[in-house]
Amino acid sequence: MQRIRLRYTKRGRLRFTSHRDFQRAFERALRRAEVPMAYSAGFTPHPKVSYANAAPTGTGSEAEYLEIALTAPRDPDQLRELLNESLPDGLDITDAVESRTSGLADRLTASVWELRLDGVEPARAQQAAEVFRAAEKVEVQRRTKSGMRTFDAREAVVSLEAVTDGEAAARGTDRPSDKPCAILRLVVRHVTPAVRPDDVLSGLRAVADLAPPVPAAVTRLAQGLFDEETGTVTDPLAPDREAVTAAPPTAAVSAAAKAPAPEGPR
């Protein structure tokens, strides 16, 4: 059984699709692309797809991950192209690699988020970010299935700052405006309970009185292991890619290499 790990996006209006919506769209794409999926046992077999730490509904993402199990080997790049032909624009497979290591979910320990605040001056956003970072604790509330819960939104935040980035501004072109716009870049650890971008926005409102006039446009730019030395979030597929490069050729490839070349016409 071959396992393939995929990185995919949620862009534009498709950021409003729920995780269940994406599951349905992805399973339809698997059928259209005639991917030889492995299925679970039981009365209601379903494709063996493992989703890891999906972004909340309403947020865009450049870095969502999943793993699929196949009954027959396929080239990851060709599989990526076939799936992209069957998925709607905005749900795009941007990377595919054969699984050669364990624990993909264990390598998703932090995320980089971008918060686009239309109607907010960049200097005001930077000032609010400084107040947030200076606070030892920022308590926020979120409604859960068991009722309202209070927790600290500050502890999980590694960095928070206003940025000037032409690429970041371009990601907001689905909401054009001549009003000021601030962009915050946020690195947050994956902890329990999870601290989401909207929790940080609630914290900014509580400690710095920052309240954007319209809902923020939120995009996840990356997720993976947090590197303490560099302060960056690393690519979680890199170990698999390196293992594939370092691995010896498979038996089938070796046999093909040893087979005599066909004789040409005499």
In this predicted structure, what is the pLDDT of residue 166? 57
Beta strand segments in 124-180, E:
139-144, 147-152, 157-162
Q: Which two tokens stand for residue 236?
A: 């979680």
Structural domain boundaries of the chain?
2-106, 108-227
Which of 69-73, 77-81, 214-218, 243-247 is the least confident region? 243-247
Q: How far is the C-alpha of 156 from the C-alpha of 93, rounded, in Å?
A: 29
Q: How far is the C-alpha of 210 from the C-alpha of 214, rounded, in Å?
A: 12
Cβ contact 229:198 at 8 Å:
no
Percent of the chain with pLDDT over 70: 87
Q: How far is the C-alpha of 31 from the C-alpha of 130, rounded, in Å?
A: 49
The H or E element that residue 52 is part of is strand 49-52
Cβ contact 208:132 at 8 Å:
yes
Q: Which two tokens stand for residue 86?
A: 């069957």
Cβ contact 171:219 at 8 Å:
yes
CA nearest to 134, candidates 152, 160, 164: 160
Q: Which two tokens stand for residue 62?
A: 């450049």
pLDDT tens, position by position, 93-124: 999 999 999 889 999 999 999 999 999 999 99
Q: Are strands 93-98 and 2-10 parallel, antiparallel or unpaired?
A: antiparallel
In this predicted structure, what is the pLDDT of residue 159? 95
Cβ contact 181:119 at 8 Å:
yes
Domains 2-106 and 108-227 share a fold: yes
* Topology of domain 108-227, CATH: Alpha-Beta Plaits (3.30.70)
pLDDT at residue 248 is higher than 80 = no
pLDDT at residue 12 is higher than 60 = yes
Sign of CA dihedral 40, 97, 104, 2: positive
For domain 2-106, is the CATH number 3.30.70.580?
Answer: yes
